[in-house]
Amino acid sequence: MKDSLNIKAALQGSKPRNFPMVSRVVFGSGSFDQLDEILEPLRGDAEGIVVFLMDDVFEDTHLHGRIPSMEQDLLILISAKEEPKTEQVDALAAHITRNASDLPVAVVGIGGGTLLDLAKAVAIMVNNTGSSAEYQGWDLVNTPAVYHIGVPTLSGTGAEVSRTTVLMGPERKLGINSDYTPFDQVILDPDLTIGVPRDQWFFTGMDCYIHCVESLNGSYINAFSQSYGEMALALCKEVFLEDLSPEESREKLMMASWHGGMSIAYSQVGIAHALSYGLAYVMGTPHGLGNCLVFQHLEAFYPEGVRLFRQMLRKHHIELPLKITRSCSQSDFETMIEVSYGMEPLWENALGPDWKSIISRDQLLEIFQKI
Amino acid sequence: MKDSLNIKAALQGSKPRNFPMVSRVVFGSGSFDQLDEILEPLRGDAEGIVVFLMDDVFEDTHLHGRIPSMEQDLLILISAKEEPKTEQVDALAAHITRNASDLPVAVVGIGGGTLLDLAKAVAIMVNNTGSSAEYQGWDLVNTPAVYHIGVPTLSGTGAEVSRTTVLMGPERKLGINSDYTPFDQVILDPDLTIGVPRDQWFFTGMDCYIHCVESLNGSYINAFSQSYGEMALALCKEVFLEDLSPEESREKLMMASWHGGMSIAYSQVGIAHALSYGLAYVMGTPHGLGNCLVFQHLEAFYPEGVRLFRQMLRKHHIELPLKITRSCSQSDFETMIEVSYGMEPLWENALGPDWKSIISRDQLLEIFQKI
């Protein structure tokens, strides 16, 4: 859950944040096929343009054929191999504006966290001027986004429910956090996660699991987020430690991701995220994998969480890559440590205001060298 | 959770319902004081009229004084002693239309389930013609409701999050179920439940607990509602069986109610509600109490749920009234049985399609006579 950092501002304010929720949600096997009737009233005179952004792994699949697109629509296939970037969002928004005679009536994102984040950002940018980089931050968006619909095909990121869209910008990786960011409609069809490669399924699921362990063990949480986090954590344990049917497993992981995303409202991540940001900054490690790589070494801080995590790894025969920092230079490690150590609210959430006396830069180095 | 019956239509359809959620929520001690800034943009030129409907138990209390009302606003105190009625809604809507120079910019309901249901219904009716009785049913509302805000001061009904508002009409007790019914904004301030009388606290909390036991033990549930229901149930167990601090207890019961309300999306109640509808039809028993009165005798159907319920009664020294049906006539009992036995989807949810071979009218009589 990449956006957790972003609530620093809210958490440090003196009053609880007024949190926007997804306005409509449909859950269930086959619910993807309701997309057509969801779009119908938005299209108005049947000439409204819908933009579909879909992960290109679905090119020429059955799902591709089920997209209810009309002649005037734009269907854009996008690779999720790289993280979403502000320039990519700007290019997409420009492409849409160029190719559509009118403002689209809806933007639909179909895919994992990357596609969902892109859809949220593009829905904002087709109706706002300038570059998306100008809106990275908190509540900088002036004009409402176009109606946007999220269709997750991968469970764990929480992007389907959050009020941010995290983008790599020219200067920084930061979310567009705004009341216009959350989806207007989400379709939770667990069948769409059939066929996700095992490693991706596991690492994305761990995004949710590790997030929950960190936030539930932190001091910044309240009863609202705790209840969502506990539900998500319980579902992750069922999915990754018990022997559910494939159908039940898909359904429960989709709900874990949903609730895990909701738990972000009033919570904060901790040590795993602080370290994985440092790692990703230097190595470009994908978020889910990076969290796993650091989390395995955090037994001292999250004993129960790490113990169960190791059980999950064994049960699903997941082998984490070894020694990925082997060829890092002294200066690489210094950068990792610098970035990680700079994540003050995460450390404070995990270890309290005296966190600097509890964990040293040397301890961070030790962990990074083990990875 | 009085509205569970109402999802019969959705459940019997062939596809999952597309569920509208509350658009914004703020949770936390003291969050009531955000009401002013929430209303500010709605008021526009500062002359927009806000209608506050508040439970009259708060008359001249500290809360009364904290209402951010302006000169042009209407503050209406309402007794929650009786269930909301269609004629009451119509009279309120007429009163507002008569006394306000313009359509109100917001309707704010402050109170328990009755006040929340009234606020939802009034917000619809100030912007729709005719009587509210014409809109009892499913998706009969044509024009969007005025922006409406729910401020629960009692936890358990789930009215703060549901898409219905249950009204006693000239012909029937039925909800206005529509996409315009849910609140646009909910303020969850656990401090507002300070001072609720113990019995009322208990019976309203049991509304949530019993609802969850029934829906989780039914066959109509899916993974979405199951996850919300399990969370609500776990929170109820904490609140009513463990020794939480008063603050934590208030927070957790407020969240239990919220999640319990969400779990209604794709679930159905069962035997306790079927019986309590029959009981209320004849005796006028309040919903929370009625559920408790019948639930205590349902050990055969919900063994674990009833066992814990009895523990809860003992722990909180709650004494249920005895023999309230003592003076009922033969024909009273027949009516109770008739109404209860007619709740087909509830029985089917609880006992399967062959429910009539599992429970007889005589067994119902036996239970009603015990109450």
Q: For residue range B53-81, what is the model confidence (pLDDT) as tens digits? A: 999 999 999 999 999 999 999 999 999 99
Token readout for B225 is 């509602």
Give per-residue pLDDT as tens, B282-307: 999 988 999 999 999 999 999 999 99
**Chain B within 8 Å of A19 (Cβ-Cβ)?**
yes
Number of independent structural domains in chain A? 2
Of B15, B26, B266, the CB nearest to A17: B26
Q: How far apart are CA B5 and CA B264, in angstroms?
A: 10
The closest CB to that of A15, out of B24, B34, B235, belongs to B34
Q: Is the Cβ of B22 closer than 8 Å to some Cβ of chain A?
A: yes
Q: Is the pLDDT of residue A2 over 70?
A: no
The arithmetic mean of pLDDT across residues A33-59, rounded, is 95
Beta bridge partners of A152: A111
B28 touches chain A (CB under 8 A): yes
Are A263 and A329 within one domain? yes
- What CATH number should be reported for the domain holding residue A277? 1.20.1090.10
Taking only the tens place, the pLDDT of each residue in A68-84 is 999 999 999 999 998 89
pLDDT score of A51: 98
Closest chain A residue to B15 measured between Cα atoms? A31
B143 touches chain A (CB under 8 A): no
From A60's Cα to the closest Cα of chain B, the distance in A is 26
Secondary-structure percent of chain B, ordered helix, strand, coil, rounded to 5: 50, 10, 35
The rounded distance, in Å, linking the Cα atoms of A261 and A27 is 16
**Which residue is closest to B190 within chain A, CA to CA?**
A223
Would you call A223 and B190 a contact, using CB atoms and an 8 Å cutoff?
yes
Q: Which CATH number does the domain housing residue A36 bear? A: 3.40.50.1970
**Does the pLDDT at position A46 exceed 90?**
no
Q: Both A160 and A257 in a single domain?
A: no
- Name the domain boundary from A193, A214, A238: A193
- Strands A50-55, B74-78: pairing kind: unpaired
More confident of the two residues B179 and A9: B179
Q: Taking a C-beta distance cutoff of 8 angstroms, is the pair A41, B36 a contact?
A: no
Q: pLDDT value at position B365?
A: 97
Q: Could you list the residue range(s) of the whole structural domain that residue A305 is in? A: 198-370
Indicate if the pLDDT at residue A189 is higher than 90.
yes
Of B177, B193, B209, the residue that ends a domain is B193
pTM above 0.80, yes or no: yes
Shortest CA gap B239–chain A (Å):
12
Please report which confidence band the pLDDT of residue A97 belongs to, taking 50, 70 and 90 as the band edges: very high
Contact B155, B254 (CB under 8 A): yes
Q: Which of residues 206-225 of B touch A (CB under 8 A)?
A: 222-224
CA distance B12 to B344: 12
> pLDDT (tens digit, 9 = 90+) per residue, A327-336?
999 999 999 9
Q: For chain B, say whether A173 makes contact (Cβ under 8 Å).
A: no
Distance CA A132, CA A175 (A): 10
Strand partners, B106: B50
pLDDT of residue B14: 65
Note the pLDDT of residue B36.
Answer: 97
Distance separating alpha carbons of residues A367 and A272, to the nearest angstrom: 11
Q: What is the mean pLDDT of chain B?
A: 94
CA dist., res. A273 & res. A264, Å (int): 14
Mean pLDDT along residues B87-110: 96
pLDDT for A173 beyond 90: no
Whether residues B335 and B261 share a domain: the answer is yes
The whole-number average pLDDT for the span A265-274 is 93
Between residues B9 and B327, which one has the greater pLDDT? B327
Query: Would you call A252 and B227 a contact, using CB atoms and an 8 Å cutoff?
Result: yes
* Tokens representing residue A361 in the block: 């830069």
Q: Which of B231, B242, B266 to mutate to test the interface with A (most CBs of A within 10 A)?
A: B231
A152 with A246, same domain: the answer is no
For the cut 70, the answer to whether the pLDDT of residue A146 exceeds it is: yes
Contact list, A185 vs chain B (CB under 8 Å): 18
Domain identity same for A92 and A182:
yes
Could you say which of A148, A163, A193 is where a domain stops?
A: A193
Q: How far apart are CA A167 and CA B67, in angstroms?
A: 41
The nearest alpha carbon in chain B to A179 belongs to: B24
Domain check: are A26 and A148 in the same one? yes
Would you place residue B45 in the very low, low, confident or very high pLDDT band (cuts 50, 70, 90)? confident
CB contact, 8 Å: A244 with chain B? no
Q: Cβ atoms within 10 A of the Cβ of B363, count?
A: 12
**Do A32 and A54 form a contact (C-beta atoms < 8 A)?**
no
Q: What is the DSSP string of B53-114?
A: EEEGGGTTSHHHHH----TT-EEEEE--SS--BHHHHHHHHHHHHHH-SS--SEEEEEESHH
Cα B368 to Cα B184, B274, B275, B319: the distances in Å are 40, 12, 8, 18
A25: chain B residues, CB-CB within 8 Å: 18-19, 21
Q: Does residue A233 share a domain with residue A338?
A: yes
CA distances in angstroms from A101 to A105, A120, A144, listed in the order given: 12, 21, 20
Q: Radius of gyration of chain B from Cα atoms?
A: 20
Q: Which of B80, B78, B79, B52 is nearest to B66 (CA)?
A: B52
Task: Give me the percent of chain A exceeding a pLDDT of 90.
Answer: 90
